[in-house]
Amino acid sequence: MPVFPSQNLNTQKICESYPKLLQVYSSSLVLDGTGSLKQFLDITASYALNASSTSGTSGTSGLSYGTSGTSGQTGASGSSGSSGNSGTSGSSGTSGINGTSGSSGSSGNSGSSGSSGSSGSSGTSGTSGSSGSSGSSGSNGSSGSSGSSGSSGSSGQQGTSGTSGANGAGGAQGYWGSFWDTTTQTNVSGSAGSNLMKFNTQDPDRLGVDIVDTTKLTFSQDGVYNIQFSAVFQKSNANAADVNIWIAKNGNNLPVTNTIFSVAGQANTIAAWNFVLKLNAGDFIQFYWHTNSNDISIAYVGTQSSPDIPAMPSIILTATQVMYTQAGSNGTSGTNGTSGVTGSSGTSGGTGSSGTSGLTGTSGSSGSSGANGTSGTSGTSGSSGASGTSGSSGASGTNGSSGTSGSSGATGSSGTSGETGTSGSSGSSGTNGVNGVSGGQNYFFNYSVTQSPLTYKQLSKYTTGGGQQSVPITLSTNEKNRLFAEFITDVGDPNVLLIPNGIWHCYAYFTKPTQLSNCEYYFTITKRDTGGTETLLFTSDTVAIGWNTNNTTPVETKSNGVVPTNILNATDRLIIRIYVDNNDNQSRLVTFYTENATYSYVVTTLSTPSGTSGTSGSSGTSGTSGSNGTSGTSGFLNLTGSTTNGLITYNGSGGTVQSNAKIQSGYVILSQVSSSLNFLDDAAAAAGGVPIGGLYRNGNFILIRIT
């Protein structure tokens, strides 16, 4: 399509981005990118544009990498070659004169509308007739008098009341419970701590009193209770030792409740007394005992034969409600007396006669209605006037011719580029540091630290600086599942939402009496929430306690536990309990050790901070860069070739290339743009695949996509 002078791109300065864009103005002139007129090439059938061009010689390349140096410093960069001068631009041609637009024709006048016809008049209405007068109403008759009411009869006498039943005897509705233990309880806390009495059995008929967590005597009802206990203390050597026993309420020691007594050597001593306490629903009581001797235990004895003797519990505990606060059951109610006879009703008075009604008067006759008048006839409507004719439109003026564009000047040659210098050698890399070690979080059994609740010891991520802790325990014949010690994490630890699936490894130190002593241990993991509720998570394998030449050298024994994924609250704490079994037909003394040189601990699947990475070695300095080679001179474009049917063919050195541009009747025609790329604006052109800088048309306008 030809580009008319009205599309002058002078003010758009497209020559800065598109210096070779031409706009056809006439058969011999074109508009350049600045809007100036330039002389167009005098192209005939024997002339055409030739894409062939000779390139200038390239500069010599610099040397490749130098020999490798050891950690050399970075060399200075070579200087760049000088650039050639740019050629001078040709002068812009003058713009052609725009043609004048033709004047528009005048519009014709509209015709006048016709007048409407007049409406007819309405007829008169007739007069209405008068209404007749109403007749008078008759008077009402008088009402008769009412008769008198009869008198009421007298009420009958009240019957006698029945006798009351006797009160029942004092009831047996008090709350109570009975509990005992069938294991031997040892001094697991040693001389520095205290032990809780435990009860593993309770009477199934108990009422309102229970044992919770094997140590808490818990009451479900308010009341005053008599609490009694008896325990059989046994000392295994010849020396006597003292024992303290006291009670705690809701985890706090009760004042003035301690009793001290002496246990004779190699003898059994029974401790038995009672407490009377006023308690509220939900309160719990715990019994504590302490001794400096590791040879004292609360002994359990199993059943005996010849003669048959029942087993002896290590501890017996009872709690009964004091009955003065309880009322006996009520006696039966006496029978009700008979009701008195109801008196007879009096006779009713007679009803008076009604008076006669008055006569009703006659109604007057209604008057007749008047006749309606006749309606008038409607007038006829007038006819509408005819519309006027529209005037004719004027003819459009002719468009002016476009001006011719000027020719562009030749481009100057580029300067030569400098040679590329040789690159320096690279320095050697430093050695890598040793990687840190990562693994599951370790927890240590800190037996010297007592936690809350008081029966627990500390399970911590950190060791203590204290001395070795030893905890001896005597297992009776074939005794199983004997609790050795309990360890709990600090408040706020581990502060995670789940325990990952995997294997926990417990490394615990023990001694046993002989190499052939068949004693084993295992551990359990329990979570405890802030309300004190404990939930068992998993139990480890049971493994034999090891042996190392004697019964005094602690041996580290490993037990594994496979843990499934467990969900936790962030405030949950973890508890590890260690249990031992005696598989022999005689009692065995087993000792557990931790802290100092014999630290017992557990490896968990909980995450632990990764070890730090080793430091990286320093990098060597880079060698010096060589100077850049000179660039070759730019070649010149020779315009030779031919046209066939108006299609320009460029005969370049690499072959023949045909262009989509052709010249016809003095105009350059862009066949691809004119045939298909018709878009409203840049956005539509972009959607149609036109790149930035590409040409497209909007009707008769050729546009450049710039956004």
DSSP secondary structure string for all residues of 184-241: -EE-TTGGGS-EE----EE-TT-BBEEEETTTEEEESS-EEEEEEEEEEEEESSSS-E
pLDDT score of 48: 34
The CA–CA distances, whole Å, from 134 to 366, 367, 453, 480 equal 7, 9, 108, 120
**Does the domain spanning 442-603 belong to CATH 3.20.20.240?**
no
Is residue 291 exposed (0-12), middle (13-18) or buried (19+ Cβ within 10 Å)?
Answer: buried
Nearest to 273 by CA among 314, 232, 227: 227
Give the CB-side neighbour count of residue 566, counting CA atoms within 13 A: 22
Dist. CA 75–CA 79, nearest whole Å: 12
Common-topology check for domains 176-322 and 442-603: yes
pTM of the complete model: 0.31
Dist. CA 471–CA 590, nearest whole Å: 8
Dist. CA 180–CA 288, nearest whole Å: 15
pLDDT score of 455: 81
| Rg of the chain, C-alpha, whole Å | 60
Q: Are 93 and 39 in contact, with CB atoms under 8 Å apart? A: yes
**b/e string for 655-690 if b means 16 or more Cβ within 10 A?**
eeeeeebbbeeebbbbeebeeebebeebeebbeeeb
Structure tokens at 527: 């979570």
Is residue 651 exposed (0-12), middle (13-18) or buried (19+ Cβ within 10 Å)?
Answer: middle
User: What SS3 string covers 319-386?
Assistant: EEECHHHCCCCCCCCCCCCCCCCCCCCCCCCCCCCCCCCCCCCCCCCCCCCCCCCCCCCCCCCCCCCC
pLDDT score of 330: 56
Dist. CA 260–CA 600, nearest whole Å: 34
Per the prediction, the chain carries an average pLDDT of: 71
Residues in contact with 495: Cβ distance below 8 Å, sequence separation at least 6, in sequence order: 570
pLDDT score of 452: 83
Structure tokens at 626: 């060589």
686: left (phi over 0), alpha (psi -120 to 50) or beta: alpha
* Sign for the pseudo-dihedral over CA of 188, 191, 194, 200: positive
256: left (phi over 0), alpha (psi -120 to 50) or beta: left
Q: Residue 493: count other Cβ atoms within 10 Å of its Cβ.
A: 16
Dist. CA 671–CA 662, nearest whole Å: 8
pLDDT score of 654: 46
pLDDT score of 698: 87
The type of residue at 35 is G
Domain boundaries 176-322, corresponding CATH code = 2.60.120.40
End-to-end Cα distance, the chain: 23
Residues in contact with 596: Cβ distance below 8 Å, sequence separation at least 6, in sequence order: 466, 467, 468, 469
pLDDT score of 343: 54
pLDDT digits (tens, 9 = 90+) for 148-206: 555 555 555 555 655 554 544 444 568 999 999 999 999 999 888 999 999 999 999 99
Dist. CA 685–CA 679, nearest whole Å: 6
- The ranges assigned to domains in the chain are 176-322, 442-603
Dist. CA 37–CA 33, nearest whole Å: 10
pLDDT score of 368: 53
Q: Are 47 and 597 in contact, with CB atoms under 8 Å apart? A: no
Dist. CA 691–CA 707, nearest whole Å: 9
Residues in the chain: 707
What residue ranges of the chain have pLDDT lower than 70?
Answer: 1-173, 324-439, 454, 609-675
pLDDT score of 688: 87
Dist. CA 48–CA 651, nearest whole Å: 9
Task: Report which DSSP code applies to 678.
Answer: B
pLDDT score of 95: 46
pLDDT score of 549: 85
Q: Are 567 and 497 in contact, with CB atoms under 8 Å apart? A: yes
pLDDT score of 415: 47
pLDDT score of 669: 61
Strands 588-594 and 469-475, how do they pair? antiparallel
